[in-house]
Structure 1
């Protein structure tokens, strides 16, 4: 009996492990908050940074929270929209108690057109205008989804369409619905972009170059007379 009681006491006094504690807050470009214990199913501290547009105005949203460690495999996401706009998101994590993740870096926007085109939209209206955007860099896929967020106490559904990369397509597909805290994604599709057979400058840039060339030839011929 004494041996049995001793074993019970021994296992009772064994350390059960320290639960993970992370900083919890949300804001725009940065935020600070109290450290709180994480639920058992969330074993990593994360910083999630997002850049987007609302009513043609650029905005940033940052969230520091506990997260499942599989979310740490999320690659940076970038979507090329109309008129030089883009939607970007990145996450960084750490797994030790009271750790501080590195501040996330958003992906850089490529500027060289790759000859492909996609429908583009970033609107809270259900029907998007028929517009297209010329894809750049490694963005060879057309992406479309609806993001549902709570903004200033109201539920906002934003339709997003544009060019994106194969990596972003894979990430959005794998983590569909759980990307940014407080938001969900639905109706996500990702297809290869249409090839216009154009390389380098966009059609408008090419027209400018042809006009410049004709003016040069014209002026050169007049000067030689």
Structure 2
């Protein structure tokens, strides 16, 4: 009976999962955090994210560590917009108070893939829309708008629209978290957009139709 009781206690413990402690921070740097730690929900691990916002020759790094899921590990993605581009990579570790490896950023490509997206940026609203367009490159096979609201240690809203990767439309671009007093609410809205190849095909169909009608 005593052995049965011990087994039941162990079973109850494992069914609840294992909770670890992670550092919890967000700052404008590329270095690991030294901020206080937090206890993660069961079965979550420590996830680091490194983001580079590139506008011309200006590069602004952002580094964060928080609790997350295994699906968030070792993911890279990018978003190109009217003023520049955003590159993001993640990494993970799974022991108390650990420092994840330095996240790897995606490899950029200058090869156009035929997709064209509308592009804009707003530093005062979580929505933007203009007639400006941008040609997509590499694996940026989606048109996306990122809407972000930050509250807590400082408050701001911004929106970025342009060419993006599948990973930004999913894991990287959608996040709700509280990091060292900063509440992050970020969402991505994506579509397949329209390709230059498709536009060219429509042009030739119209020309062929007009030729048939006139002759």
Q: TM-score, normalised by structure 2?
A: 0.67
- Pick the structure with more strand per residue: 2
What is the deviation of 1:98?
4.2
Aligned equivalents of 1:60, 1:98: Cα separation in 2: 23
Preserved contact between residue 23 and residue 38 of structure 2 (Cα < 8 Å): no
Mapping of 1:85-164 within 5 angstroms? 85-126=84-125, 127-150=128-151, 153-154=154-155, 156-164=156-164
Preserved contact between residue 19 and residue 43 of structure 2 (Cα < 8 Å): no
Aligned equivalents of 2:97, 2:153: Cα separation in 1: 31
Q: Which residue of 2 aligns with 1:71?
A: 72
When Rg is computed on C-alpha atoms for both structures, the one with the higher figure is 1
Q: Deviations over 1:130-160 (max 9, x none)?
A: 2111111121211113111248622x22111
Aligned equivalents of 1:70, 1:178: Cα separation in 2: 15
Aligned equivalents of 1:70, 1:165: Cα separation in 2: 16
Q: SS at the partner of 1:109? A: coil
Preserved contact between residue 121 and residue 160 of structure 1 (Cα < 8 Å): yes
What is the deviation of 1:120?
0.7
Aligned equivalents of 1:132, 1:176: Cα separation in 2: 24
Aligned equivalents of 1:129, 1:136: Cα separation in 2: 20
Aligned equivalents of 1:140, 1:7: Cα separation in 2: 56
Cα distance change of structure 1 residues 112 and 63 upon mapping to structure 2, 3 Å threshold: same
Preserved contact between residue 22 and residue 40 of structure 2 (Cα < 8 Å): no
What is the deviation of 1:93?
0.9
Aligned equivalents of 1:131, 1:180: Cα separation in 2: 34
Q: Deviations over 1:145-198 (max 9, x none)?
A: 3111248622x22111111123433435xx733389532124x32111322239
Cα distance change of structure 1 residues 161 and 94 upon mapping to structure 2, 3 Å threshold: same
Structure 1: segments with no counterpart, 5+ residues: 199-225
Aligned length: 186
Q: Deviations over 1:28-86 (max 9, x none)?
A: 222431563523436312211122268x95322111233344433x7222111125x11
Preserved contact between residue 78 and residue 87 of structure 1 (Cα < 8 Å): yes
Aligned equivalents of 1:195, 1:23: Cα separation in 2: 43
Q: Which residue of 2 aligns with 1:26?
A: 26
- Compute the RMSD of aligned alpha carbons: 3.7
Q: Which residue of 1 aligns with 2:207?
A: none
Q: SS at the partner of 1:97? A: coil
Aligned equivalents of 2:140, 2:60: Cα separation in 1: 22
